[in-house]
Amino acid sequence: MSNCSGKKAKPLPISVGALSDFYSRVYALCRHIPEGRVTSYGAIAKFLGAARSSRMVGYAMNNSFNEQGVPAHRVVNRLGMLSGKHHFPGSTLMQDLLENEGVPILNDRVQNFDQYFWNPADHLDPKDF
C-alpha cells in the first residue's frame, strides 16, 4: 500500500476499536468545556494520558459533527488559533459561535487566550474518562 507521495504507507499503530474509544473519551471531555471558554487539542490529549496525540484529538474534532452536544468550536490550537475553522460550514461559523459566547476573536485567534483558556486538569478527574 502506498500513499499519495508514492512511499509505502505505515500501518496505523492503533486498532479501530481503540481509536473509537479514544474519540469517545475526547467527546466526553469536550462536553464539559464551559460556554465562553476554550481549551486546546494538546490540553485534551495530555489530560487523557496521550500527551503526544494532539493531532488525534484534532481528528476526533473533525469527526464530531455526528456526535450529540460536542462543542468542537471551543477547541483551538495551543496558541489560541482557530485552526479547525475550515471544518465548520461557512467561513466564520467557528468564530461566530465563540464570539456569541463572549470569547473575543481577532485575526482567527482568541484574544487574551490565557483568560479564556480552560484546562481540563484543573476541573476534571482523569479517572472519570
Cα dist from 96 to 33, 79, 100, 105, whole Å:
17, 19, 6, 9
Question: For residue range 53-91, what is the model confidence (pLDDT) as tens digits?
Answer: 999 999 999 999 989 999 999 999 999 999 999 999 988
Instruction: Report the C-alpha gap between 128 and 114 in whole angstroms.
Output: 25
Domains of the chain are 35-123 (1.10.10.10)
Question: For residue range 1-41, what is the model confidence (pLDDT) as tens digits?
Answer: 433 445 555 544 555 565 689 999 999 999 999 999 999 99
Those residues with Cβ within 8 angstroms of residue 13's Cβ, 6 or more apart along the chain or in another chain: none
pLDDT > 90? residue 116: yes
pTM of the model: 0.85
